[in-house]
């Protein structure tokens, strides 16, 4: 009897200062299949957010690949066009965070441009049982205290 | 045939902003046995370091228990006396970071006070192939940039 092939689930992001929101996304992704995390390069993060990430890309990759539930982690997107990385990873599912860019419609365009068959899903809500569930929240706490 | 019982390896620390030094310590600990991470309470961290940790204790526990190579994570020490937690965890090995407090001699005193049989080991060197391998380094970068 052949083993069951798990689906390929792609998540993408900066994964700068890791927090429970990242872990929650990974848990959900891992419940759907084998998770590949695609990490934005330092250059694209700076372009998208107007400032460089705190943690350099190689270190961000090392940290995320050492979280439970991650199968692969790649420094993978260097433009705002996700179609190239979708072609490479060939995910069955792309799972996005509740308020993550781009929109589902925009991501659907990238999937079509890649000529891929892929379901786009989005977490319904942020994790709520911890106090610092965003990189911004952690930075605020560091800069201004409680 | 009975399974091989792995040794219990204890690591202890604040585990505030996670970095490759933590991951390196966990990898080494996991190569020696099943890893229990013991996390300092917010109160003891504040007492030891003169300031509260950035990340609250429950969140620190959640993050570390989601790193690969961790079997258990407990919020475990609330005094500078480790003998109580050594009695509870009953580690075969305590693995410490290269420049982590207390000294081996002091830790040996705690082991004896706990009436425990336990080997104390220490990593020889810090991980060197990443740029931000301490919480202090990450905080400096956040506050002052490159």
Quote the ipTM score: 0.92
Q: Does B63 touch chain A (CB under 8 A)?
A: yes
Q: What is the mean pLDDT of chain A?
A: 92
Instruction: Say if A92 falls within a structural domain.
Output: yes
DSSP A130: S
Q: Enter the tokens of residue B52.
A: 């509260």
- In this structure, are residues B47 and B11 in contact, taking their beta carbons and an 8 Å threshold? no
Distance CA(B134)–CA(B124), nearest Å, equals 16
pLDDT of residue B29: 98
State mean pLDDT over B117-146: 86
Query: Are B141 and A54 an interchain contact pair (Cβ–Cβ within 8 Å)?
Result: yes
A-to-B residue pairs, Cβ atoms closer than 8 angstroms: 68
Counting beta carbons within 10 angstroms of the beta carbon of residue B74, is it exposed (0 to 12), middle (13 to 18) or buried (19 or more)? Answer: middle
Which domain does A125 fall in, by range? Answer: 8-144
Question: What pTM does this model have?
Answer: 0.92
Task: Give backbone dihedrals phi and psi of A134, rounded to 5 degrees, phi first.
Answer: -150, 150
Residue B70's nearest CA partner among B33, B40, B99 is B33
Q: Which site among B65, B66, B126 would you substitute to test the A interface, given the most A Cβ atoms closer than 10 Å to its Cβ? A: B66
- In this structure, are residues A122 and A38 in contact, taking their beta carbons and an 8 Å threshold? no
Query: Are B59 and A18 an interchain contact pair (Cβ–Cβ within 8 Å)?
Result: no
Residue A115's nearest CA partner among A89, A86, A92 is A86
Q: Does A120 touch chain B (CB under 8 A)?
A: no
Q: Tell me which of A125 and A44 has the higher pLDDT.
A: A44
CATH at B97: 3.40.50.620
Instruction: Say if A105 falls within a structural domain.
Output: yes
- State how many domains chain B has: 1
Distance CA(A81)–CA(A48), nearest Å, equals 12
Q: Does A98 touch chain B (CB under 8 A)?
A: no
Question: In this model, does residue B124 exceed pLDDT 60?
Answer: yes
Instruction: Say if A3 falls within a structural domain.
Output: no
User: B54-98 pLDDT, tens per residue?
Assistant: 999 999 999 999 999 999 999 987 777 899 999 999 999 999 999
User: Which residues are bridge partners to B96 per DSSP?
Assistant: B122
Residues ≥6 apart with Cβ < 8 Å to A54? A16, A17, A135, A139, B132, B138, B141, B142
Query: Are A143 and B142 an interchain contact pair (Cβ–Cβ within 8 Å)?
Result: yes
Residue B11, classed as helix, strand or coil, is strand
DSSP A99: T
- In this structure, are residues A12 and A49 in contact, taking their beta carbons and an 8 Å threshold? no
Residues ≥6 apart with Cβ < 8 Å to B115? B87
Counting beta carbons within 10 angstroms of the beta carbon of residue A84, is it exposed (0 to 12), middle (13 to 18) or buried (19 or more)? Answer: middle
Instruction: Say if A111 falls within a structural domain.
Output: yes
Query: Are B20 and A63 an interchain contact pair (Cβ–Cβ within 8 Å)?
Result: yes
Sheet strands (E) in A14-135: 34-40, 72-77, 93-96, 119-122
State mean pLDDT over A31-38: 98
Question: In this model, does residue B109 exceed pLDDT 90?
Answer: yes
Q: Enter the tokens of residue B73.
A: 């994570």
Instruction: Say if A2 falls within a structural domain.
Output: no
Distance CA(B41)–CA(B39), nearest Å, equals 6
Distance CA(B66)–CA(B86), nearest Å, equals 23
Partner residue facing B54 (CB), from A66, A68, A138: A138
**Secondary-structure percent of chain A, ordered helix, strand, coil, rounded to 5:** 40, 20, 40
Instruction: Say if B68 falls within a structural domain.
Output: yes
Instruction: Say if B2 falls within a structural domain.
Output: no
Could you identify the residue written with the tokens 């258990």?
B72
Instruction: Say if A129 falls within a structural domain.
Output: yes
Query: Are A63 and B23 an interchain contact pair (Cβ–Cβ within 8 Å)?
Result: yes
State mean pLDDT over A91-104: 94
- Between A37-41, B24-28, B80-84, B126-130, the lowest mean confidence (pLDDT) is in B126-130
Q: Enter the tokens of residue A14.
A: 């900066």
Query: Are B20 and A142 an interchain contact pair (Cβ–Cβ within 8 Å)?
Result: no
State mean pLDDT over A49-73: 95
Measured between CA atoms, how close is A132 to chain B, in angstroms?
Answer: 7
Question: In this model, does residue B2 exceed pLDDT 70?
Answer: no
- Between A51-55, A124-128, B56-60, B96-100, the lowest mean confidence (pLDDT) is in A124-128
- In this structure, are residues B59 and A131 in contact, taking their beta carbons and an 8 Å threshold? yes
């Amino acid at each position: 009897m052949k083993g069951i092939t798990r689906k390929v689930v792609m998540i993408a992001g900066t994964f700068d200062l890791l927090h429970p929101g990242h872990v929650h996304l990974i848990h959900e992704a891992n419940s759907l299949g084998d998770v590949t995390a695609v990490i934005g390069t330092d250059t694209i993060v700076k372009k998208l957010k107007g400032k460089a990430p705190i943690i350099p890309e190689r270190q961000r990759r090392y940290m995320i690949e050492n979280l439970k539930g991650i199968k692969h982690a790649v420094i993978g997107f260097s433009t705002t066009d996700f179609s190239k990385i979708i072609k490479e990873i060939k995910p069955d599912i792309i799972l996005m965070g509740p308020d993550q860019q781009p929109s589902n419609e925009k991501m659907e365009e990238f999937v079509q441009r890649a000529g891929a068959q892929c379901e786009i899903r989005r977490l319904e809500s942020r994790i709520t049982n911890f106090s610092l569930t965003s990189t911004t929240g952690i930075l605020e706490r560091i800069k201004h205290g409680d």
